[in-house]
Amino acid sequence: MPVSVAELISRGLVRLKTAGIDDAEISSRLILQYILNKTSSDLQLSSDEIIADEKIKQYDRLLEKRCLHVPVQYLIGEVEFYNVKLKVDERALIPRPETEVLVENLVELIKPMKSPRLLDIGTGSGNIAIAIAANVEDVSVTTVDVSADSLDLARANASLNYVNGKIEFVCADCLQSRFWRDCGKFDAIVSNPPYVDNSDYNDLQPEVRYYEPKVALVARGDQFTFFKSISRRATTALNPKGIICFEVGFGQADKVVSIIHSCLPNSEINIIDDLAGIQRVVVGVKR
């Protein structure tokens, strides 16, 4: 029996809702867009189009994986982030829309600088570094991650977006002194570090807990370990008027402000909300 786009989406929606998938409608549409190689607008205009049996089987296979809480971004293998397209898989965290708030503000701060040098700590898929490199003409970026697999993904994404010539990739542990001795000075240091406390890990969504890399989520020591270490190193690694910029977890902003103040006592610090009104980004300017 022929099945249309609209009917297949409806069928997928019911199946995902039954499996307890929170974003059932979004996932059902994204999976079908991927299989049919259509944009969201194209899919909307093609609601009466009849789908080939082979495509239906492919759709059903991916739906089955989504029912097991595999993130839809991993199923389709890509995500849009601040006007760049990125490959994503289980080597790195999936870039989130709230991180675009960090990028947007940092781009505006470093654009007036002459040939700014940026350090991106915990680069993962490379989303922050690549978005900035694509939007700031004369920036040079050093990205660091403890995971060689994540860096391989970040390199592929940099090539995909034609900014690999502007980015240096370093496999290192930013909590170790050796990295900071060799890295030089920067006009901006940015990080979306692991900030989930280990005691809270089991409360995360199944999509996150089962499939995204725990090392990129859960902080070593307490949840502020990376904020403390990076802020302390920023006292010497940042140039005068240099910028330190963090993405922070829910309820962490005030504590991160105090951490930056303790290391950079004369800095000007601002807290920026994400689109949901949550304090998401902390930005300090070294004085």
Asked whether residue 34 carries a pLDDT value surpassing 80, the answer given is yes
Both 136 and 248 in one domain: the answer is: yes
**Mean per-residue pLDDT, 48-77:** 95
Percent of the chain residues past pLDDT 90, beyond the cut: 88
Alpha-carbon distance 258 to 160, whole Å?
A: 39
Both 104 and 165 in one domain: the answer is: yes
**Mean per-residue pLDDT, 187-191:** 97
Position 83 in a domain:
no
Position 85 in a domain:
no
> Using one digit for the tens of pLDDT, what is the confidence trace for 249-260?
999 999 999 999
Position 79 in a domain:
no
Asked whether residue 33 carries a pLDDT value surpassing 90, the answer given is yes
Alpha-carbon distance 188 to 132, whole Å?
A: 12
Position 42 in a domain:
yes
Both 19 and 120 in one domain: the answer is: no
> In this structure, how many other beta carbons lie within 10 angstroms of the beta carbon of residue 55?
14
Position 73 in a domain:
no
pLDDT higher for 183 or 152? 152
Position 111 in a domain:
yes
Position 96 in a domain:
yes
- Please report, to the nearest 10 degrees, the dihedral formed by the alpha carbons of residues 44, 47, 49, 51 taken in order: 90
Both 222 and 165 in one domain: the answer is: yes
Measured CA angle at 230 (ends 229, 233), to 5 deg: 90
Asked whether residue 1 carries a pLDDT value surpassing 80, the answer given is no
Measured CA angle at 271 (ends 267, 272), to 5 deg: 135
Both 280 and 244 in one domain: the answer is: yes
CATH number of the domain to which 163 belongs: 3.40.50.150
CA atoms within 13 A on the CB side of 225: 16
Domain end marker among 38, 68, 98: 68
The predicted pLDDT at position 286 comes to 92
Q: Which of 101, 100, 150 shows the shortest CA–CA distance to 122?
A: 150
Number of domains comprising the chain: 2
The predicted pLDDT at position 221 comes to 82
Where helices occur in the chain by DSSP H, the ranges are: 5-18, 24-36, 40-45, 53-67, 72-76, 97-110, 127-135, 148-160, 177-183, 206-211, 225-237, 253-263
Both 141 and 264 in one domain: the answer is: yes
Domain end marker among 35, 68, 101: 68
pLDDT band of residue 179 (cuts 50, 70, 90) is: confident
Both 37 and 152 in one domain: the answer is: no
> Using one digit for the tens of pLDDT, what is the confidence trace for 247-287?
999 999 999 999 999 999 989 999 999 999 999 999 999 98
The parent domain of residue 216 ranges over: 90-285
Both 95 and 220 in one domain: the answer is: yes
Asked whether residue 9 carries a pLDDT value surpassing 80, the answer given is yes
Both 147 and 230 in one domain: the answer is: yes
Both 15 and 99 in one domain: the answer is: no
Position 82 in a domain:
no
What's at 226, amino acid-wise?
Answer: F
| Mean of pLDDT over the chain | 94
The predicted pLDDT at position 44 comes to 87
Both 133 and 225 in one domain: the answer is: yes
Both 172 and 264 in one domain: the answer is: yes
**Mean per-residue pLDDT, 42-55:** 91
> Using one digit for the tens of pLDDT, what is the confidence trace for 80-139?
999 999 999 999 999 999 999 999 999 999 999 999 999 999 999 999 999 999 999 999
